[in-house]
């Protein structure tokens, strides 16, 4: 197997990674054949996966602009993946040149590529850490240097919580992060669900099986289960909704049916 020059040393390129699969769905080039193979297999069951990822990114960009418009200019993006065009720091800094962004991911390719993209940007950094260990994130040198936790921060958990099983204690991790944030902070979240997918649960479960087989279980949660991640915040209008319905920029009826899969919401800490 040919090893691309950009692949950090020590990475096992025979094992698929969800962040590199996501990169492939979005048309990126930082993925290996093993990732493309797994992604294509998942798309056999759910051909609209790229549309779901695009809807995630579009929601994220609207939420970042919303944060800046409401005076929040610090961003902590956990499970940030491989930076693609229109990433958080680009959107935030276009809206407010002084915006600070810290990305967090545990995939070494995502971290290495983020470092390369952010080289020379004094207001953005990346941390190699895991959502399941919030203290490692909160006490990282990058967070301590770039984010003032006594002022509001936008915490982004976009398309990441559905990769944590209940035994990983995702609710406790999110609660610990929210607890560390100042009043007025925002929690920006999307999560996969069988609700809204234009397939039967049986058909969609084929994709879930692909992720289980690559040891990255995709955990589908219901709307009420996802809403519990917002405990400690007030859900902002229009609430927890399919991604295109969250403060859309244009006519929602023109969206692909797959874009309505799963849920998105933004909560504000009182």
Whether residue 146 is contained in a domain is answered as yes
**pLDDT tens digits, one per residue of 21-37:** 999 999 999 899 999 99
268 - beta bridge partners? 186, 234
Residue 1: pLDDT band (50, 70, 90) is low
Whether residue 21 is contained in a domain is answered as no
User: What is the tally of structural domains in the chain?
Assistant: 1
Output the six-digit token pair for 164. 């944590």
Residue 191 in contact with residue 229, Cβ under 8 Å? Answer: yes
Total-model pTM: 0.96
Among 163, 125, 137, 117, residue whose Cα is nearest residue 22: 163
**pLDDT tens digits, one per residue of 212-226:** 999 999 999 999 999
Whether residue 191 is contained in a domain is answered as yes
Whether residue 32 is contained in a domain is answered as no
**pLDDT tens digits, one per residue of 59-115:** 999 999 999 999 999 999 999 999 888 899 999 999 999 999 999 999 998 999 899
Q: Could you check whether the bond before residue 154 is cis, i.e. omega within 30 degrees of 0?
A: no
Average pLDDT, the chain: 95
Whether residue 251 is contained in a domain is answered as yes
What is the C-alpha to C-alpha distance for residues 17 and 267, in angstroms, rounded to an integer?
29
Whether residue 17 is contained in a domain is answered as no
Q: What's the CATH number where 85 sits?
A: 3.40.50.150
Whether residue 70 is contained in a domain is answered as yes
Whether residue 26 is contained in a domain is answered as no
In the chain, at which residue ranges do the beta strands (DSSP E only) sit? 74-78, 100-105, 124-128, 154-157, 186-191, 233-235, 263-269
Burial of 233 (0-12, 13-18, 19+ CB in 10 A): buried
Owning domain of residue 61: 49-269
Among 85, 84, 86, 79, residue whose Cα is nearest residue 63: 86
In 1-73, at which residue ranges do the beta strands (DSSP E only) sit? none
On the CB side of 194, CA atoms within 13 Å amount to 13
């Amino acid at each position: 197997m040919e090893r691309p020059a950009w692949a950090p040393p020590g990475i096992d390129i025979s094992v698929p990674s969800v962040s590199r699969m996501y990169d492939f769905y979005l048309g990126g080039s930082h993925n290996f054949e093993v990732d493309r193979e797994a992604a294509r297999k998942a798309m056999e069951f759910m051909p609209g996966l790229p549309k779901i990822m695009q809807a995630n990114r579009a929601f994220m960009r609207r939420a970042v602009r919303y944060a800046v418009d409401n005076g929040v200019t610090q961003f902590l993006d956990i499970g940030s993946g491989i930076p693609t065009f229109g990433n958080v720091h680009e959107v935030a800094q276009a809206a407010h040149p002084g915006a600070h962004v810290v990305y967090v991911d545990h995939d070494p390719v995502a971290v290495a590529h983020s470092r390369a993209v952010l080289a020379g940007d004094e207001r953005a950094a990346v941390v190699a850490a895991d959502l399941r260990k919030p203290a490692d994130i909160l006490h990282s040198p990058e967070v301590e240097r770039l984010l003032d936790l006594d002022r509001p921060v936008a915490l982004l958990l976009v398309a990441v919580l559905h990769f944590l099983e209940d035994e990983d204690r995702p609710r406790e991790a999110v609660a610990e992060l929210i607890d560390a944030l100042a009043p007025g902070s925002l929690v920006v979240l999307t999560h996969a669900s069988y609700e809204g997918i234009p397939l039967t649960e049986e058909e969609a479960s084929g994709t879930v099986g692909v992720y289980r087989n690559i040891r990255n279980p995709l955990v589908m949660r219901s709307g009420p289960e996802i809403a519990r991640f917002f405990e400690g915040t007030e859900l902002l209008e229009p609430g927890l909704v399919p991604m295109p319905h969250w403060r859309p920029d244009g006519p929602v009826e023109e969206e692909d049916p797959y874009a309505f899969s799963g849920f998105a919401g933004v909560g504000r800490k009182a």
